[in-house]
């Protein structure tokens, strides 16, 4: 790919992506530090909560153990009332207390009287010598001991007190233990308070193990949640990117063909032109218009037309060189940016390759569809430096190819602008002539072929005498009227003028008027209403008006055309098929549509004298038409031999320069003209 095209496409898509980056919502990944802080905070809170929960559980366990131990001591130790009331320790009490100093998780205790004075500890019990059965020992309290403050809370308020302690620095203590102050009750009430030392190392390990499992589970679930959230974020961003890419593709491409659309193509051209000014590389634009694409849509349907457009895009893409860009500008019109030019010969060679590639028929829905295209090209820097001018001139070159016979390639040259300006001015003059009724009708006689040489009718033919250009042929101003949207107004004028003229004739000759497809298909056209109005305003009898249509009119929306023709026939107007045999010549048209006459095209008449088979075809047409109750007219009769041959074949009407040329209506010699 050339550097200029690379720069152009990079510019186009770079701007698009930058715009997308500036307008899309912020990525959810920006909050990862926030998630980390949240996780740290959550971990801190969870750790603190576990510590509190652990302390609460250990406190509850120590209190429960101490209460059980106190109840146990109250039940099995004799003489407790003497111990707490008088400070006397009996031998029986000493024995029981020594034996139960260590029980379960309890490894030490202290006894306090109701005033909080320390009476006895398990260490002292262990150090006392055994007493005789009847002896006692008087316990001595410290004279200056103010008592334990927790005792009064327990004795007076019933509020136990538990303290957790770290024993790792004390050799005679477990790693973790509790000092639990609980009441020691007797039969008549609270005797005192016992401080129970509860070993909670094993309990703490069990709680820690349980919390570890819980934390592990929670962390696992949290990590799964984080992973799930991360996956959802990634999936959402991936979906958003895909949606953005799809939206961008739809905004920049033609969905049917896959080529760039007009707006994107013009953006590429602008960027390419800027790059070309820097790099000095040239490029060209090829405008491509399919030939007779409307006929494909009309005959095979729009789905077949869409298939043809896709096939055309595929063939054009196959011709691409590095850097070339394909676009569909609309309808059946495509364009190609041809990059990295060495000379105009490269443009011509590529244009001819396009024409050749599109000239091959396509297989669509089992039908061999003839294709073809007209191609025009203009070169940047040679024909134009502005993109709009370059596109316009490539389009003019394509128009030249189309008007020069189709299926060919043309370069732009300055005469095309002159021709376009001429057509523009001519279209303005045509509108003026139509408004001023400066157009006229010439009438060509239609003769009875029986031999009487009697004119049975006249065909109205439009003529335009331009005040400067002179006579402008119908082959020029009628297509021009179709291009500038005046064909319906032109046809309406012709119908009304022909009816007005025929109403003034002294005989009862018919007048034939040609109808265009636009008079049936245009949104603003009402051909039945126009004819009905013309007949009523001029007083012409409906059977004296004959309307001629071509076979091509019947192809597009035949049901609508059939309805209009039936309504016209219902008015009494005669319907004729013009140029029979040159179009699609579907015999179904003859019996489906209300035709009164068939006009054999002049192409058959011209070959009557030189080609024997033509007379067989003409004879078959005449026989078929007569069997369906239709009259037959032959156009273009220019020799006696042709007239005699058509008479022998049974033709009903003859028309041609041999019998009479189209002439204007002369009001001063009207009677003489009709008599002749």
Of the candidates 340, 342, 335, the one whose C-alpha atom is nearest the C-alpha of residue 392 is 335
C-alpha span between 570 and 590 (Å, rounded): 17
- Sheet of 325-330: strands edge to edge? 325-330, 333-341, 282-290, 373-379, 409-411
Distance CA 667, CA 171 (A): 145
Q: What is the pLDDT of residues 48-60, one digit of tens each?
A: 777 788 888 998 9
CA–CA gap between residue 26 and residue 21 (Å, rounded): 9
Mean pLDDT of the chain: 84
Distances (CA, A) of 541 to 62, 283, 304, 498: 124, 64, 45, 12
The 3-state DSSP class for residue 262 equals: helix
In the block, residue with structure tokens 């029980």: 103
Task: List the one residue out of 181, 45, 178 whose CA is nearest residue 116.
Answer: 181
Q: Which two tokens stand for residue 593?
A: 């549509």
Asked whether 215 and 207 are in contact (CB, 8 A), the reply is no
Determine how many CB atoms are found less than 10 A away from the CB of residue 650.
14
User: Model pTM greater than 0.75?
Assistant: no
pLDDT at 49: 77
pLDDT class of 138 with cuts at 50, 70, 90: confident
Q: Where in the chain is the domain with CATH 3.30.70.270?
A: 262-412
**Angle value at C-alpha 509, between 507 and 512, nearest 5 degrees:** 150
Confidence tier at 115 by pLDDT (50, 70, 90): confident
Given this structure, which CATH class describes domain 51-205? Answer: alpha beta
pLDDT tens sequence across 26-46: 444 455 566 667 667 777 777
Q: Is the confidence at residue 472, as pLDDT, over 50?
A: yes
For the packed helices 387-403 and 262-279, what is the interaxial angle rounded to 10 degrees? 110
Tell me the CA distances in angstroms from 200 to 161, 165, 170, 486, one per residue in order: 16, 10, 15, 107
- Report the pLDDT averaged over residues 425-441: 91
pLDDT at 12: 47
Structure token pair of residue 431: 């509108």
Collapsed DSSP state (helix, strand, coil) of residue 449: coil
Residues of the chain with CATH 3.20.20.450: 432-675
pLDDT given at position 7 = 47
Which residue would you say has higher pLDDT here, 400 or 41?
Answer: 400
| pLDDT of 497 over the 70 cut | yes
pLDDT number for residue 621: 92
Q: Which of 293, 289, 248, 122 is nearest to 197 (CA)?
A: 122
Instruction: Compute the average pLDDT of residues 575-580.
Output: 89
pLDDT at 16: 41
**Residue 331 CB: number of other CB atoms within 10 A?**
12
Closest among 27, 18, 14, 17 to 245, alpha carbons compared: 17
The more confident residue out of 40 and 586 is 40
Most confident of 129-133, 401-405, 511-515, 523-527: 511-515
Give pLDDT, residue 597: 94
For CATH 3.30.450.20, the residue range(s) in the chain are 51-205
CB atoms within 10 A of CB 475: 8
Q: What is each CA distance from 92 to 79, 121, 649, in whole angstroms?
A: 8, 16, 156
- 3-state SS, residue 340: strand
pLDDT for 68 beyond 70: yes
Task: Return the percentage of the chain with pLDDT > 70, whole number.
Answer: 89
Give me the helix-helix angle, 612-627 and 640-649, nearest 10°.
40
**Which fold is adopted by the domain 432-675?**
TIM Barrel (3.20.20)
pLDDT range class, residue 669, cuts 50, 70, 90:
very low
How many Cβ atoms are within 10 Å of 326's Cβ, its own excluded?
22
Q: Which CATH number fits domain 262-412: 3.30.1540.10, 3.30.70.270, 3.20.20.100, 3.40.50.300?
A: 3.30.70.270
% of residues, the chain, pLDDT over 90: 40
Asked if the model's pLDDT at residue 625 lies above 90, the reply is yes
């Amino acid at each position: 790919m050339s550097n200029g095209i690379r720069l152009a496409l990079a510019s186009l898509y770079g701007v698009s992506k930058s715009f997308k980056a500036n307008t899309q919502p912020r990525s959810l990944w920006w909050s990862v530090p926030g998630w980390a802080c949240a996780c740290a905070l959550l971990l801190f809170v969870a750790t603190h909560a576990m510590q509190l929960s652990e302390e609460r559980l250990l406190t509850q366990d120590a209190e429960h153990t101490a209460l059980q131990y106190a109840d146990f001591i109250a039940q099995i130790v004799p003489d407790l009332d003497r111990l707490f009331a008088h400070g006397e320790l009996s031998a029986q009490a000493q024995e029981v207390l020594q034996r139960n100093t260590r029980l379960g998780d309890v490894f030490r205790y202290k006894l306090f009287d109701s005033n909080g004075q320390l009476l006895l500890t398990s260490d002292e019990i262990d150090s006392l010598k055994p007493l005789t059965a009847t002896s006692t020992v008087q316990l001595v309290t410290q004279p200056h001991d103010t008592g334990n403050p927790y005792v009064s809370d327990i004795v007076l308020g019933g509020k136990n007190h538990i303290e957790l302690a770290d024993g790792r620095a004390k050799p005679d203590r477990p790693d973790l233990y509790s000092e639990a102050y609980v009441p020691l009750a007797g039969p008549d009430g609270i005797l005192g308070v016992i401080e129970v030392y509860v070993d909670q190392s094993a309990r703490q390990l069990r709680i820690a193990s349980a919390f570890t499992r819980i934390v592990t589970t929670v962390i696992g679930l949290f990590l799964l949640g984080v992973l799930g959230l991360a996956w959802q974020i990634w999936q959402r961003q991936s979906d958003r990117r895909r949606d953005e890419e799809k939206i961008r593709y739809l905004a920049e491409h033609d969905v049917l063909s896959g080529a760039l659309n007009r707006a994107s193509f013009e953006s590429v051209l602008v960027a390419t032109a800027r790059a070309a000014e820097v790099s000095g590389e040239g490029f060209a634009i090829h405008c491509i218009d399919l030939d007779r694409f409307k006929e494909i849509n009309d005959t095979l349907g729009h789905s077949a037309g869409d298939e043809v457009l896709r096939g055309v895009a595929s063939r054009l893409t196959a011709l691409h060189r590095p850097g070339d860009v394909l676009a569909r500008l609309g309808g059946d019109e495509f364009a190609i940016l041809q990059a990295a030019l060495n000379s105009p010969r490269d443009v011509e060679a590529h244009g001819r390759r396009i024409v050749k590639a599109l000239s091959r028929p396509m297989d669509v829905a089992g039908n061999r569809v003839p294709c073809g295209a007209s191609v025009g090209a203009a070169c940047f820097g040679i024909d134009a430096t502005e993109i709009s001018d370059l596109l316009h001139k490539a389009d003019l070159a394509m128009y030249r190819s189309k008007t020069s016979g189709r299926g060919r390639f043309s370069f732009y040259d300055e005469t095309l602008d002159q021709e376009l300006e001429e057509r523009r001015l001519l279209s303005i003059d045509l509108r003026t002539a139509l408004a001023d009724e400066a157009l006229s009708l010439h009438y060509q006689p239609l003769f009875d072929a029986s031999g009487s040489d009697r004119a049975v009718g006249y065909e109205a033919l439009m003529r335009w005498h331009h005040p400067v250009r002179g006579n402008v042929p119908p082959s020029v101003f009628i297509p021009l009227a179709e291009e500038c949207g005046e064909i319906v107004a032109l046809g309406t004028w012709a119908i009304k003028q022909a009816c007005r003229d025929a109403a003034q004739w002294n005989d009862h000759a018919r007048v034939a008027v040609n109808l265009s497809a636009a008079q049936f298909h245009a949104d603003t056209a009402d051909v039945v209403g126009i004819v009905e109005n013309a007949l009523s305003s001029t007083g012409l009898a409906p059977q004296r008006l004959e309307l001629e249509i071509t076979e091509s009119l019947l192809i597009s929306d035949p049901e609508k055309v059939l309805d209009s023709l039936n309504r016209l026939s219902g008015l009494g107007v005669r319907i004729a098929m013009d140029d029979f045999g040159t179009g699609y010549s579907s015999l179904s048209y003859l019996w489906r549509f209300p035709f009164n006459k068939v006009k054999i095209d002049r192409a058959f008449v011209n070959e009557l004298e030189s080609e024997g088979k033509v007379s067989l075809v003409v004879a078959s047409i005449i026989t078929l038409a007569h069997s369906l109750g239709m009259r037959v007219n032959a156009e273009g009769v220019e020799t006696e031999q042709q007239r005699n041959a058509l008479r022998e074949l049974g033709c009903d009407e003859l028309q041609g320069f041999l019998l009479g040329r189209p002439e204007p209506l002369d009001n001063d010699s009207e009677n003489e003209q009709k008599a002749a």
